[in-house]
Amino acid sequence: MSSAIEVRRFETPDQKIDMKEAGGISVVATQHGSLGMRAVFEPGWVWEKDEKPLIGCPDSCPTHHTGYCIRGTLVVRMIDSGKETRISKGDFFEIPPGHDGYVDGDEAVELILFAPQPHGH
């Protein structure tokens, strides 16, 4: 186990998911396997239209998200219940798989998302 401190920047990501004018997601990974993501969704962004085709067209988002909203308002809908939850600036959130969502209003949404290290590290 290294005792060195590792610093990464979203401006130089390991991976970039480009949603063209709808926004994008910058992904950084540490040597120990933790992931951090900065997602920017522009006004008008809709999961169904802008992200679903990029991840293989599942019925809903299959990913568990833990994150923090820096700006904007994102409405997330759980598919099984139809319940919508508004996530706004300052909210720390946990979203289970099986959702979709859209940007509400005319301000872009910016989120920081965290993914834990895979087991076995």
CATH number, domain of 74, equals 2.60.120.10
Using 50, 70 and 90 to split pLDDT, how confident is the model at 16?
Answer: very high
Q: What is the residue range of 55's domain?
A: 26-115
Nearest to 99 by CA among 115, 76, 66: 76
* Residue that the structure tokens 């991840």 belong to: 55
The length of the chain in residues reads 121
In a domain? residue 18: no
In a domain? residue 17: no
Q: How many domains does the chain have?
A: 1
Chain segment 25-59, per-residue pLDDT in tens: 999 999 888 899 999 999 999 988 888 787 787 88
Query: What whole-number distance in Å separates Cα of residue 6 and Cα of residue 9?
Result: 10
pTM: 0.87
C-alpha radius of gyration, the chain, whole number: 15
Query: What whole-number distance in Å separates Cα of residue 78 and Cα of residue 61?
Result: 10
Given a contact cutoff of 8 angstroms between Cβ atoms, the answer to whether 88 and 105 are in contact is no
